[in-house]
Amino acid sequence: MDQFLAYFKVGFGHIVSKDMGVDHILFIVALAIRYQFADWRKLLILVTAFTIGHSVTLALSVFNIVNYSIVWIEFLIPVTIVITALSNFFVKKFSFNSRFPLIYFFALFFGLIHGLGFSNYLKSMLGKDSSVIWELFAFNVGLELGQLLIVLVMLIISFIFVNLLKCNRREFLLYISGGAFAVALLMALERVPQ
């Protein structure tokens, strides 16, 4: 149980730590900013899709099934944020009636890229005699809860601005997405592979 808790904390810390998780926090914010509290089911699916993508490549990498260039992954992570933030500029109406909107596929596919970004660190933590599956599970549970915490904070901030302060919802979306876009673009430019 101690090992489960240790990897749970690593997963949770990975997403909420200002040192390690800035790119993941930006991605979650860009991904979820278009939603409100009433959309909690859609948000849960969205965040879970990201976690599934993240988990798949994390596992494939830990088991040495997938090999990749970390330089390219570190570049692609902010690119996923740029694309996600840009997609928010095309949101005109806030009625999300599609059963499987495109943003779900963004979350899943981009989760694949984000999962590779953390796999080297996680691989270095895993011992030779460790129960890798249990540790991966613990890490991903921590990650999912960390993401849900970020979504909750974002929803509260959105509620304050849109519902209490009466900011225009679309303008709020554009403002937050624009900020995420700008920060991610700078990150991407700093990480362009040579």
pLDDT of residue 181 exceeding 90, the answer is yes
What is the average pLDDT value for the chain, to the nearest integer?
89
- pLDDT range class, residue 20, cuts 50, 70, 90: low
Q: How far apart are the first and last CA of the chain?
A: 44
Q: Which residues contact 129 (CB under 8 A, 6 or more apart)?
A: none
Token pair 């059963």 in the structure block, residue: 99
> Which pTM does this prediction carry?
0.91
Measured at the alpha carbon of residue 88, what is the angle toward residues 153 and 15, in degrees to the nearest 5?
Answer: 35
Which of the residue ranges 12-21, 130-139, 158-167 would you say has the lowest mean pLDDT? 12-21
pLDDT: is 172 or 2 the higher one?
172
Cα distance between residue 111 and residue 80, in whole Å: 9
Q: What mean pLDDT is predicted for residues 30-53?
A: 90
**Residue 110 CA from chain centroid, whole number:** 8
- Tell me the range of 13-17, 21-25, 125-129, 166-170 where mean pLDDT is highest: 166-170
Residue 129 pLDDT > 60: no
**What digits encode the pLDDT tens for the residues 101-110?**
888 999 999 9
pLDDT at position 128: 59
Confidence of residue 18 (pLDDT cuts 50, 70, 90): low
pLDDT at res. 122: 78
